[in-house]
Amino acid sequence: GFLTDIFPEDLLTSSSLLALAGVVVGFIIVHLGTLISIEEFKRQWKTFVIGVSTVIGIGIALLVAALIFGERAPGGYEGVASALDFVIAGTGSLSGGTISVLIIQEAALGIGLTTVAVFPVLIAALQGLVGFPLTSIILRKEAQRLKGEYRAGRLQAPVQVEAAGAAPATKLPPAFRTTAGTLFVVGVAVLVALGINNLTDGILNTFVVALILGIALRATGVFKPAILSGIDAFGLMMIAIMILIFGPLATVQPADVAALAFPLFLAFLFGIAGIALFAGLVGKLLGYSVPISIAIGLTSLYGFPGTMILSQEAAKGAGESADEVAAIEGDILPKMIIAGFSTVTITSVVVTSIIAAGIGS
């Protein structure tokens, strides 16, 4: 649309949608924090460790690719990007989701490296296409292994102890449970995160602090789980975020995108190799099977709800009875859910916030 002049180049800036998106990013990060249960992380600490190792593996693998395949590449209109810039952009986007892409874009556009800002957008567009089929194949193998464990009496279906449909508790008074009240209290959390960022001169990144506040406020019962879900403004906020992500495409030429084809191929090739190597090795050391360890690592490519869907499909495909399906799903699903949060939501945001400062250096 931008290349054919159907959309004017200044469409997003003149519409003020970019300004709206910039405001709501902090709200979304606090919301992501409230999706995380500390109790479940304690039970699945091995999965969390594998998820962290995955992000490290991606970074190391992409650094190796940069050392092998050259030092410099076209980086946009105002500057030249080094291979390290693409390593940072690739690590953040391969290991994370929307927020990591935004962090990379902010750093790259701030110094005029438009192509580096577009690179994570292209990775994000292809992550699911690569991650879903790979994970599906691996989880099917793991599900078959678990079926054997179940039939040998070494695996049992999980016992449900929580009442279905129980309403999550929150300490907020009724006035702050409305759409306006929810936006107010989340906005206060974002302002606190911004204040801490300013007090520490950026050492404690706003996004990282907002994520931690979301986790802490859910753990203490102040915020309910998934605090923004269900409010009237949530859909608009997500639309604004997507507009912010694709904003740099307004000034990108086809030649710039074509120049990224080879770096894009290398990012996925070496990135997935790093995932398999580090996740498989660390998982094996922690007592997990290699297939589930690699599947845990691959959650960095898509996150929730893909983690849930693929786990359920693998269990249904392998199980031949309701109890068998429940046992297989009960083993795979908690690991995959926590894996998605440990890579996409937590580790990637923290790591990307730190390494993004290296773009252009």
pLDDT per 10-residue tile (average), the chain, 361 residues: 59 63 81 82 89 92 87 46 84 85 87 86 86 94 94 77 51 87 93 92 80 90 86 77 63 69 91 96 96 95 82 92 90 87 80 86 69
Determine the residue type at 320: E
CA distance 166 to 66: 51
Interacting residues of 188 by C-beta distance below 8 A, sequence separation 6+: none
Give the whole-angstrom CA distance, residue 333 versus residue 327. 10
The pLDDT value recorded for residue 164 is: 43
At CA 216, angle to CA 23 and CA 301, rounded to 5? 65
Q: What is the pLDDT of residue 161?
A: 46
Among 142, 164, 139, smallest CA distance to 155 is for 142
Distance CA 58, CA 47 (A): 17
Q: Check whether the bond before 305 is cis (ω within 30° of 0).
A: yes
List the chain domain ranges. Answer: 11-158+229-358
CA distance 350 to 337: 19
Q: Give me the helix-helix angle, 114-151 and 83-95, nearest 10°.
A: 40
Q: What is the pLDDT of residue 19?
A: 66
Query: Distance between CA 280 and CA 296 in Å, rounded?
Result: 9
Q: Would you state the pLDDT for residue 111?
A: 85
pLDDT at 22: 67
- What's the pTM value of the predicted model, to 2 decimals? 0.75
**CA within 13 Å, CB half, 91:** 34
| pLDDT in the model for residue 79 | 45
